[in-house]
Homo-oligomer: A and B are copies of this chain.
Amino acid sequence: MEMIRLRERVAFQDEKPARHRLMGTPRCQADLYCLRPGQRQASHVHADQDKLYLGVEGVGRIRVGEEERQLEPGTLVLAPAGVEHGLTNDAGAPLVVLVVVVDRA
């Protein structure tokens, strides 16, 4: 059985957000994003991938389309294919987010 405790995979990088691949299949992938204060994943678009974000630890700002909101632990956000999205740790504590990427192709 593929089983992973998220807290055991938390690790940060100084120079940019860390993205750890956890598990996946040909259609989907689960990643753990770890952002130090001030780090950000710049807004971008995937034409053929949906993304689900789940806040795990800390708080940050998530953008989907024109809207920005606070992402907290236990909050789930959908970034559908074709919609711009991005993530910023604008707080003073580490930010950890579970991201599931689903391939539409």
Contact = CB atoms under 8 A, between A and B. Distances in A.
Contacts of A22: 76
A21 B27 CA distance: 21
A64 interface: yes
B76 A30 contact: yes
A59 to B, nearest CB: 13
Nearest to A7: B74
- Within the oligomer, what is the number of copies of this chain? 2
Interface residues of A, number: 37
Interface of A is mostly: strand
A27 to B, nearest CB: 5
Interface string A1-28: 1111111000000000000001111111
7 cross-chain pairs, A with B, having the tightest CB-CB distances, nearest first: A2-B78, A28-B102, A1-B64, A1-B67, A25-B50, A6-B74, A23-B78
Interface of A: 1-7, 22-28, 30, 50, 52, 54, 56, 62, 64-65, 67, 69, 72, 74-78, 80-81, 98, 100, 102-104
